[in-house]
Amino acid sequence: MEPILIKIAAGSDVVETLINLARRREAGIVILSGSGIVTDVTLHKLESDSLDVIEGLSNMTSLSGYFIVEGGFVPPLTMNIVSPLSSFSICLFDNRGQVFGGKIGGKVMAAGAVLVTAAFILNPTFHRFGVVNGRVQEMENDDPEDVGGVVVNDDDGHAP
């Protein structure tokens, strides 16, 4: 994995451009940083599970996130599928100095050149960790009891 610099042109959706680039390269992508002038940013409000659109020009000071595909399968561009292993976050401020940020829930349109530092990931491996008897350890099976990383023990301290 080595960092690359990506310049995204004005009028492009920043996240869509990054995902499409990863798909063309048949790789996952990790966003290390990003900056530039953006507009019409859609943020996901976790508390209400709704979307909030920040209209007008904003200065993006931070962009981070990832698009990774499990098992090496990268959906082709013709399949409009977003990986469940995908998340992007942003921090920005408007011309009044008001700061916004959070998980991206839709479009982030580049209003000028946007520069992104990223890295491609080929053939990722996945590891699951959980807490068993108070210790963090790698989970080796797909037991439904392990979901969420917590294994329920019986009165004798043994996992059922």
**Domain identity same for 62 and 95:** yes
- Beta-carbon count within 10 A of 93 CB: 14
Structural domain harbouring 99: 3-121
What would the two tokens of residue 79 be? 């399949």
**Domain identity same for 147 and 109:** no
The half-sphere exposure of 29 on its side-chain side, counting CA atoms within 13 A, is: 26
Flag whether pLDDT at 123 surpasses 60. Answer: yes
Place of tokens 């008897």: 133
**Domain identity same for 110 and 133:** no
Helix (H, G, I), strand (E, B) or coil at 14: helix
25: left (phi over 0), alpha (psi -120 to 50) or beta: alpha
Flag whether pLDDT at 42 surpasses 60. Answer: yes
Model pLDDT, residue 28: 87
**pTM of the predicted model as reported, rounded to 2 decimal places:** 0.73
159 found inside a domain: no
Flag whether pLDDT at 126 surpasses 90. Answer: no
111 found inside a domain: yes
Beta strands in 16-153 (DSSP E): 28-45, 50-67, 86-94, 99-103, 109-121, 128-132, 135-139
41 found inside a domain: yes
Model pLDDT, residue 133: 84
160 found inside a domain: no
Number of domains the chain contains: 2
Residue range 71-113, pLDDT digits in tens: 555 554 444 445 567 889 999 998 888 998 999 988 999 999 9
Average pLDDT of the residues of the chain: 80
Give 53's DSSP letter.
E
Residue range 1-33, pLDDT digits in tens: 778 999 999 999 999 999 989 888 888 899 999
Flag whether pLDDT at 153 surpasses 60. Answer: no
Higher pLDDT, 58 or 79: 58
